[in-house]
Amino acid sequence: MSSATEDVNSSPLTCIASTAIGRGPSVERIAGDRKPGRGEHITKAQFTPDGTTIIAQHDDHHLKTFVLPTNLLEEEHQPHRLTAYATHKSATEIQDFAIFPGFDLSDVSTTYALCGDNDQPISLRNVCDWTHSEAKYPLVNDRNEAHYSPRTLHFVNSGSHFLVGTHNNLAVFDITRYNAGPVSLLQLKPRKGTYNGMPLTRKAYVSALATSVDGLLALGTTEREIALHDHSGMGERTAAFNTDPYRGTGVSVLKWSPCGKYLLVAERRSDEIHVFDIRDTRSHVSTLIGRAGNTNQRLGLDILHTRGDGYELWAGGMDGVVRIWHNPGSKEGECPPSEELEVHEAPVTSTIWHPFTSILATSAGSRSNTYEDEQNPPGEIDNSLRVHTVGSSNEALVSYFLSSRMDSCLPLRPPHEMGPALAFRPPPLRRVGLASRPPPNVGAGLIFRPR
């Protein structure tokens, strides 16, 4: 979640960096004899907490590290070409990844991410060199020795624990327990008896996890059910409900409003995003319509915190357009988008805000050749990762975020102050193969980091 002083969409987007620079005006060519539209598109992208780096998950079993250039905001060098600093190639499909909350590019002992490969133990890897796995966490049920494949990964408690969603189970891991299974494994739909904390009614995969500012975990499943757990998922289940009355085929993304009152739910095969009032009545408040999301493909979205208690939802669509809704939940009924911005020539798979500035990153791509036309012939698809400036000038961005983020960035405090969360720090760098490589330049994100 990012923050801004005003509605930043009052000015057009300006693309200042892209992976497509030098590969043609707007597209990246699919290599080899892969089917058009498959193989290289980004399924998920995420800024690191310090804002210096973007981690991207690709459809061809790759994770890539993109370190933002230090001169990102210098207009004479724009647009920059983004190139991967490090790459992880998995032998199996990558289901998800999660970045350590204390990530600081200037300290490579914190630059870690969890990687959830299909049918493999969860691994902890350094994103500056993905080659070595520093720790593995088998997702095994100790009672019956059943093995599960991770579907979703989510850090909690400043990084000391992480959650793993799988088929009909939510697992809690202690990151300091190397090569050990989960400390707890919660069955979502019990086989027998009654679960005191409101059981779910259908066995399904956990497809989305999100924690509110108050530590309330929302869990969504592929069978359209949502559960709420207190204590960041390590406490009791407080509520459970479903999205059956509305169109969709399974929860794809969950987001909380900055105040923790509203839960926003996006589903596959749906042009709608639903807003639920969780704090008061747990009732459906409004429907954000017109997203252009009628696909099985996961389309990302993000929250932008504006003035006071205000916020905006930015969501990508199948038509290459990002749509913006102002203050979801403030109005009842159906709410069309307030703004529309064209950012790609293909479905927008990720829409992510920089932690400190009015910088937006988007990614695009498709699993099919539906979007081939005269502008995008077979073999050429917009699979790019792009970085945009939005709204006010760079000078204003620097001035505002240096002055106003001092009190709102407590979760991003220096690593040495994070206590037990960093107890898992790896041995010297020689184990991760970094000693022979020059460290990456600290990207533009640190320019805005509160001192």
With helix as H, strand as E and coil as C, how does 248-271 read? CCCEEEEEECCCCCEEEEEECCCC
Per-residue DSSP letter, 383: -
pLDDT score, position 22: 58
Domain that holds residue 311: 2-448
Q: CA dist 444 to 19, 186, 213, 389, Å?
A: 17, 41, 27, 13
End-to-end CA gap in the chain: 20
Residues 185, 203: Cα–Cα separation, whole Å = 15
For residue 165, what are its two tokens? 């969603």
Q: CA dist 34 to 40, 118, 163, 197, 369, Å?
A: 9, 22, 35, 48, 12
Q: CA dist 145 to 121, 187, 449, Å?
A: 14, 15, 46
For residue 385, what are its two tokens? 């990762």
Contact 107, 415 (CB under 8 A): yes
Among all chains, which residue has been given the structure tokens 């001092």?
A: 406
CATH of residue 139's domain is 2.130.10.10
Give Cα 434 distance to the centre of its chain.
26
Beta bridge partners of residue 363, listed in sequence order: 350, 385
pLDDT score, position 122: 97
Give Cα 14 distance to the centre of its chain.
22
pLDDT score, position 3: 61
Give Cα 33 distance to the centre of its chain.
30
Determine what percent of the chain falls in helix, strand and coil, rounding each to the nearest 5: 10, 40, 50
Residues 226, 243: Cα–Cα separation, whole Å = 8
pLDDT per residue over 120-136, tens digit each?
Answer: 999 999 999 999 899 99
Q: Residues in the chain with pLDDT < 70?
A: 1-11, 22-39, 192-197, 280-281, 367-380, 392-451
Domain count, the chain: 1
For residue 352, what are its two tokens? 């992510």
Rounded to 10 degrees, the C-alpha dihedral 179/183/187/191 comes to 90
Measuring CA to CA, which residue among 396, 322, 337, 331 is closest to residue 4? 396
pLDDT score, position 196: 54
pLDDT per residue over 206-225, tens digit each?
Answer: 999 999 999 999 999 999 99
pTM summary value? 0.84
Pairing of strands 86-89, 62-67: antiparallel
- Spell 2-17 as b/e; 16+ CB within 10 A means b: bbbeebbbeeebebbb
DSSP letters, 315-355, are EE-TTSEEEEEESTTSS-EEE--SEEEE--SS-EEEEEE-S
